[in-house]
């Protein structure tokens, strides 16, 4: 690898020198060459990636271990390695490699777990947090409202922990590309490493720069731009530059209404159209069986005639314990009440 | 107008499926020359739109002809630049119903004179005695309201999942089981719909859900639509205007054959049960045309002609020629029917082959049917470790699904959810949630399949399959 890259990566150069994904500011990749790569590789080897299903677990895969209700952990499969879970140890060589995704794996203490194929949604609930992340509810509406699909070119900032990035990559593969900008160097390095591990690196370029000052590093190529930064209004101009000449979609995520206010003003000034702010809240319903006791009204004289005198004695005690059992859902005692406001806009043709 | 070759794909062409837009109102249409289209109580001709770029805004002039709107900036800067006088509060504004000096007739005359919407609004402002005493915000609101009423423009946009999902939800929520667009968005994500996978769909949402899935697959992989009744409904898919190669990835399979397929008793080489059904109908041709028409019209073929024949027969007294021609047409029809049956059989075999491996990558259900039997039947076609998402307008049906899945095992990560969608008005000093919000966009049950309990890890599903098949055939 060349000296510039080595210098840039510093101590981590060994890890990242092979990475196609992490580049210094301004480095533009040869899109055509890279685009063809992922398809070919998958077609021949058919190993797992975050954008392509495979049936069997291979060495080097990142899998999701399902430990039980709402409890998952990502595991990088390696020959000879072991993973500790609360149900005991899992030995990769014998218990994971060659197994089918979705299988049950029995751990050393006799407990068992399910090994799941990674998806962006499972990754979102298991990834190591380096920042606050976006969750699937917001990600879903962002994906639809930005009109993402295979082939879309997307700009994103900041990359953060890469929760949204993985979902974007899943949607735009195999012919799209993600240009993501993260001004925090360690985070940028870490996420680039993850993209490589997850075998999506040919689809993404990570740039370590300040989007508010330096923009996205591309001009006139993007179909969509996503902003999750403290001062999105400072990046609206750069977003406009990054979007295609014929137009495109923009989304900005902000927790505070004041941020939304400023962003909307700048969007209007910069001639964005269809400006709309929404908030989506998820309610999870807990399915359970409930039993409601029936009160004892005492013996009913009118029903006595029908039942006859014989049955008079037994019903009274049993009615005391009578209850109706049914399936219903209960709301969670507490639920996330706010993540952020999502502001969408369309850049018209310029 | 298109300036270069790059613009070609963004140019409106004859035959294109497009969406007309005014404010938040959308309508999907096909561009056909000399064809009247009704949009927002107005007849328009789309001929002039051809050759212009998508997202162009047109003014509707006399005769419903479109004229590209000049200078978009105009409309944004026009408002209250010339209105600088404003009141501070409404203590002196009295509602006497006389503040507007123009009468209804005056406004009609202005319209007939061919005044543009913008000019009418200006007239209304000038003739309103209270306008200048209104606060700046109230003036803004007044102008916005009048502009909405009198402005006569339409924007032609390219159809996308976002626009069509919003359109259906706004115009015909009943046709899509009140599936709100944010719920559709959740479904696509939760089912991990993406290029290269094999997705099963069962929907009665006019084809909107199918179209959304096809858009996300981008023509890579395969979609198998399980359909009830005589044929799949795909009006919504048409609206997307997908390139023809997308349709090569789309397969269909009648849900009435699922049991046979699962039992291994489905014979796709010869006549299938549905073919027999059709033959019965054919025998009763003269009598039961109407019955036959129902599934037929869903497939959008042959319907009108048969109807005409029926009326002919009813109207005609005793004309032999008519009879003869009817006979001839009947023969041609029978021939066509045969070809169609053959095509249907071929399609059935192709879809059955895709399903038989029971290795689908995703399952999406959104229908007016009870989701429980659909889910329990179709989930058998999924590989282990694959996601599924089931929509229902009602929570109770999904509670049942949840309970049954828990009982039979084979799934993890089950979640019953719904989402709330809240819109905000964001304006300087006037930011607040929009007054009206949607009461409900339906419920979702999502989860992930796993290898079933009694099977041993690794490759076991194949081993248990014969046993399952046997149990089923025994029952019959």
Tell me what the mean pLDDT of segment A114-137 comes to: 96
| Minimal-distance CA residue of chain A relative to B418 | A283
Contacts of A343 in chain B (CB under 8 A): 426
User: Would you say B398 and B187 are in contact if contact means Cβ atoms under 8 Å apart?
Assistant: no
Which residues have CB under 8 Å from A318's CB, separation 6+? Answer: none
A104–B53 C-beta distance less than 8 A: no
Q: Name the DSSP letter for residue A27.
A: P
B387–A119 C-beta distance less than 8 A: yes
Tell me what the mean pLDDT of segment A106-133 comes to: 94
Which residues have CB under 8 Å from B206's CB, separation 6+? Answer: B168, B172, B175, B176, B233, B235, B236
Task: Give the integer Cα–Cα distance in Å for A229 and A211.
Answer: 9
Task: Give the integer Cα–Cα distance in Å for B403 and B405.
Answer: 6
A51–B196 C-beta distance less than 8 A: yes
In this prediction, residue B469 carries a pLDDT of 36
Establish if B2 touches chain A: CB-CB under 8 angstroms: no
Selected for mutation to probe chain A from B192, B243, B418 (highest A CB count within 10 Å) is B192
* Tens of pLDDT, residue by residue, chain B (476 residues): 445 667 788 999 999 999 999 988 999 999 999 999 999 888 899 999 999 999 999 988 877 788 888 655 544 444 444 557 788 888 888 888 888 888 888 888 877 777 777 778 888 888 888 888 888 888 888 888 887 777 788 999 999 999 999 999 999 999 999 999 999 999 999 999 999 999 999 999 999 999 999 999 999 999 999 999 988 989 999 999 999 999 999 999 999 999 999 998 888 775 544 444 444 444 444 333 344 444 444 444 444 444 444 455 555 555 677 788 888 888 999 999 999 889 888 989 999 999 999 999 999 999 999 999 999 999 999 999 999 999 999 999 999 999 999 999 999 999 999 999 999 999 999 999 998 878 889 999 999 999 986 544 443 333 333 333 333 334 33
Interstrand relation of B25-30 and A323-330 (parallel, antiparallel or unpaired): unpaired
Residue A169, both tokens: 């990559």
Residue B161, both tokens: 């999942």
Task: Give the integer Cα–Cα distance in Å for A188 and A211.
Answer: 13
User: Would you say A114 and A85 are in contact if contact means Cβ atoms under 8 Å apart?
Assistant: no
In this prediction, residue B82 carries a pLDDT of 53
B217–A150 C-beta distance less than 8 A: yes
User: Would you say B379 and B410 are in contact if contact means Cβ atoms under 8 Å apart?
Assistant: yes
The strand pairing partners of A289, in sequence order, are: A327
Nearest CB to B189; choose among A51, A116, A143: A143
User: Would you say B201 and B229 are in contact if contact means Cβ atoms under 8 Å apart?
Assistant: no
Residue A43, both tokens: 């077609």
Establish if A105 touches chain B: CB-CB under 8 angstroms: yes
What phi, psi does A132 have (nearest 5°)? -65, 140
Question: Looking at chain A from residue 19 to 58, which residues have their Cβ under 8 Å from any Cβ of chain B?
Answer: 42, 51-53, 55
In this prediction, residue A293 carries a pLDDT of 94
User: 């497939």: which residue's tokens?
Assistant: B299
Task: Give the integer Cα–Cα distance in Å for A144 and A171.
Answer: 10
Burial A222-253 (b: 16+ CB within 10 A, else e): bbbbbbbbeebbbbbebbbebbbebbbbbbbb
Residue A31: pLDDT over 70: no
Q: Is the ipTM of this complex over 0.90?
A: no
Residue A160, both tokens: 């953060």
SS (H, E, C) A183-211: CCHHHHHHHHHHHHHCCCHHHEEEECCCH
- Coil, strand or helix: which one is A163? helix
- Check the annotation: does A228 bind a ligand: yes
Total residue count of chain B as it appears in this document: 476
- Check the annotation: does A334 bind a ligand: no
Adjacency order of strands within the sheet including B65-68: B25-30, B17-22, B153-157, B56-61, B65-68, B43-45, B36-38
Task: Indicate where chain A has its CATH 3.40.50.150 domain(s).
Answer: 122-281+339-347
In this prediction, residue A292 carries a pLDDT of 95
Establish if B10 touches chain A: CB-CB under 8 angstroms: yes
pLDDT tier for residue A32 given thresholds of 50, 70 and 90: very low
Question: Looking at chain A from residue 198 to 217, which residues have their Cβ under 8 Å from any Cβ of chain B?
Answer: none
Selected for mutation to probe chain A from B4, B160, B189 (highest A CB count within 10 Å) is B189
Residue A307: pLDDT over 80: no
Residue A204: pLDDT over 50: yes
Q: What percent of chain A stands above pLDDT 70?
A: 81
Establish if B162 touches chain A: CB-CB under 8 angstroms: yes
Question: Looking at chain B from residue 340 to 359, which residues have their Cβ under 8 Å from any Cβ of chain A?
Answer: 359
Nearest CB to A104; choose among B72, B413, B457: B457
- Check the annotation: does A162 bind a ligand: yes
Domains of chain B are 8-73+84-90+97-158 (3.10.330.20), 161-268+356-449 (3.40.50.150)
Q: Which residue has the higher pLDDT, A31 or B352?
A: B352
Residue A10: pLDDT over 80: no
The strand pairing partners of A252, in sequence order, are: A227, A343
Establish if A143 touches chain B: CB-CB under 8 angstroms: yes
pLDDT tier for residue A287 given thresholds of 50, 70 and 90: very high
Residue A241 CA, chain-centre distance (Å), reads 27
Task: Give the integer Cα–Cα distance in Å for B295 and B300.
Answer: 9
- Rounded to a whole number of angstroms, the distance between the first and last alpha carbons of chain A is 40
Tell me what the mean pLDDT of segment A283-301 comes to: 92
What is the CATH code of the structural domain delimited by A122-281+339-347? 3.40.50.150
Residue B420, both tokens: 């709330």
Task: Give the integer Cα–Cα distance in Å for A69 and B302.
Answer: 53
Task: Indicate where chain A has its CATH 3.10.330.20 domain(s).
Answer: 56-118
In this prediction, residue B186 carries a pLDDT of 98
SS (H, E, C) chain B: CCCCHHHHHHECCCCCEEEEEECCEEEEEECCCCCEEECCCCEEECHHHCCCECCEEEEEEHHHEEEECCCCHHHHHHCCCCCCCCCCCCCCCCCCCCCECCCHHHHHHHHHCCCCHHHHHHHHHHCECCHHHCCHHHHHHHHHHHHHHHCCEEEEECCCHHHHHHHHHHHCHHHHCCCCHHHHHHHHHHCCCCCCCEEEEEECCCCHHHHHHHHHHCCCCEEEEEECCCCCCCHHHHHHCCCHHHHHCEEEEEHHHHHHHHHCCCCCCCCCHHHHHHHHHHHCCCCCHHHHHHHHHHCCCCHHHHHHHHHHHHHCCCCHHHHHHHHHHHHHHHHHHHHHHHHHHHHHHHHHHHHHCCCECEEEEECCCCHHHHHHHHHHHECCCCEEEEEECCHHHHHHHHHHHHHHCCEEEEEEEEEEEEEEECCCCCCEECCCCCCCCCEEEEEEECCCCCCCCCCHHHHHHHHHHHHHHHHC
- Check the annotation: does A21 bind a ligand: no
Tell me what the mean pLDDT of segment A92-111 comes to: 93
What is the CATH code of the structural domain delimited by A56-118? 3.10.330.20
Which residues have CB under 8 Å from B249's CB, separation 6+? Answer: B214, B217, B219, B220, B221, B222, B223
- The answer to whether the predicted template modeling score (pTM) of the entire model surpasses 0.90 is no
| Minimal-distance CA residue of chain B relative to A278 | B423
Cα–Cα nearest to A272, from B76, B435, B87, B121: B76
Q: How far is B434 from chain A (nearest CA, A)?
A: 10
């Amino acid at each position: 690898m060349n000296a510039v890259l080595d210098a840039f990566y510093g101590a981590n150069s060994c890890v990242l020198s092979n990475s196609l994904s992490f580049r210094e500011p301004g480095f533009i990749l040869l899109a055509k060459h890279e685009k063809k790569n992922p398809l070919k590789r998958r077609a021949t080897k058919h190993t797992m990636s975050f954008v392509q299903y495979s049936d069997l677990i291979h060495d080097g895969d990142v899998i999701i271990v399902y430990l039980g209700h709402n409890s998952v952990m990502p595991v990088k499969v390696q020959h000879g390695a072991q993973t500790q879970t609360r149900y005991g140890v899992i030995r990769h060589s014998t218990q994971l490699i060659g197994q089918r995704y979705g299988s049950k794996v029995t751990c050393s203490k006799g407990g068992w777990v399910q090994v799941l194929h990674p998806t962006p949604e499972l990754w979102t609930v298991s990834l190591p947090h380096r920042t606050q992340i976006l969750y699937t509810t917001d990600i879903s509406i962002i994906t639809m409202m930005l009109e993402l699909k295979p082939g879309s070119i997307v700009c994103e900032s900041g990359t953060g922990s890469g929760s949204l990035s993985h979902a974007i990559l899943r949607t735009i593969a195999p012919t799209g590309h993600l240009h993501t900008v993260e001004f925090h160097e360690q985070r940028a390095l870490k996420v680039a490493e993850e993209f490589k591990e997850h075998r999506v690196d040919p689809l993404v370029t990570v740039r370590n720069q300040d989007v508010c000052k330096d923009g996205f590093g591309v001009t006139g190529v993007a179909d969509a731009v996503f902003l999750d930064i403290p001062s999105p209004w400072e990046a609206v101009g750069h977003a406009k530059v990054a979007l295609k000449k014929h137009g495109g979609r923009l989304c900005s995520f902000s927790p505070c209404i004041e941020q939304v206010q400023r962003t909307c003003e700048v969007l209007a000034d910069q001639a964005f159209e269809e400006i709309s702010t929404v908030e989506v809240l998820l309610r999870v319903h807990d399915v359970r069986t409930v039993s409601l006791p029936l009160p004892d009204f005492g013996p009913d004289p009118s029903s006595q005639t029908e039942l006859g005198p014989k049955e008079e004695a037994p019903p009274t005690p049993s009615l005391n314990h009578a209850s109706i059992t049914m399936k219903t859902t209960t709301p969670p005692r507490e639920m996330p009440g706010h993540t952020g406001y999502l502001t969408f806009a369309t850049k018209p043709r310029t | 107008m298109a300036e270069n070759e790059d613009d070609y794909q963004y140019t409106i062409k004859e035959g294109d499926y497009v969406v007309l837009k005014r404010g938040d109102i959308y309508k999907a249409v096909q561009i056909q020359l000399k064809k009247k289209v009704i949009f927002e109580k107005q007849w328009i001709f789309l001929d002039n739109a051809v050759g212009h770029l998508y997202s162009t805004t047109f003014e509707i002039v006399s005769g419903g002809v479109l004229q590209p709107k000049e200078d978009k900036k105009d409309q944004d800067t026009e408002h209250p630049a010339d209105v600088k006088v404003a009141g501070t509060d409404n203590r002196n504004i009295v509602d006497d119903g006389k503040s507007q000096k123009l009468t209804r007739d005056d406004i009609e005359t202005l319209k007939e004179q061919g005044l543009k919407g913008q000019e009418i609004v200006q007239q209304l402002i000038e003739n309103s005695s209270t306008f200048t005493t209104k606060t700046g915000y109230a003036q803004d609101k007044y102008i916005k309201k009048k502009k909405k009423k009198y402005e006569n423009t339409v924007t032609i946009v390219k159809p996308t999942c976002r626009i069509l999902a919003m359109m259906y939800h706004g115009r015909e929520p009943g046709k899509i089981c009140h599936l709100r667009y944010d719920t559709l968005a959740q479904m696509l994500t939760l089912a991990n719909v993406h290029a290269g996978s094999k997705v099963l769909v069962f929907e009665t949402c006019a084809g909107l859900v199918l179209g959304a899935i096809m858009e996300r697959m981008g023509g890579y992989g395969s979609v198998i639509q399980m359909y009830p009744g005589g044929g799949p409904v795909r009006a919504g898919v048409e609206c997307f205007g997908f390139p023809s190669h997308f349709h090569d990835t789309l397969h269909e399979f009648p849900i009435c054959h699922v049991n046979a397929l699962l039992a291994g008793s489905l014979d796709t080489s010869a006549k299938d049960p549905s073919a027999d059904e059709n033959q019965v109908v054919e025998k009763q041709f003269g009598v039961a045309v109407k019955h036959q028409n129902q599934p037929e019209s869903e497939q959008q073929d042959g319907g009108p002609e048969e109807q005409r024949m029926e009326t002919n027969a009813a109207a005609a007294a005793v004309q032999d020629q008519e009879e003869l021609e009817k006979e001839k047409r009947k023969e041609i029809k029978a021939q066509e029917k045969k070809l169609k049956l053959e095509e249907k059989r071929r399609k059935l075999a192709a879809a059955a082959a895709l399903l038989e491996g029971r290795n689908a990558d995703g399952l999406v259900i959104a229908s007016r049917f009870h989701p429980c039997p659909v889910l329990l039947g179709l989930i058998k076609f999924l590989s282990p470790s694959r996601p599924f998402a089931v929509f229902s307008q009602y929570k109770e049906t999904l509670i049942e699904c949840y309970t049954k899945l828990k009982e039979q095992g084979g799934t993890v990560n089950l979640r019953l959810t719904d989402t709330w969608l809240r819109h905000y008005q964001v304006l300087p000093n006037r930011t607040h949630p929009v007054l009206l919000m949607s009461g409900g966009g339906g419920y979702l049950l999502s989860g992930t399949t796993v290898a079933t309990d009694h099977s041993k890890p690794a490759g076991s599903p194949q081993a248990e399959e014969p046993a399952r098949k046997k149990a089923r055939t025994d029952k019959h």
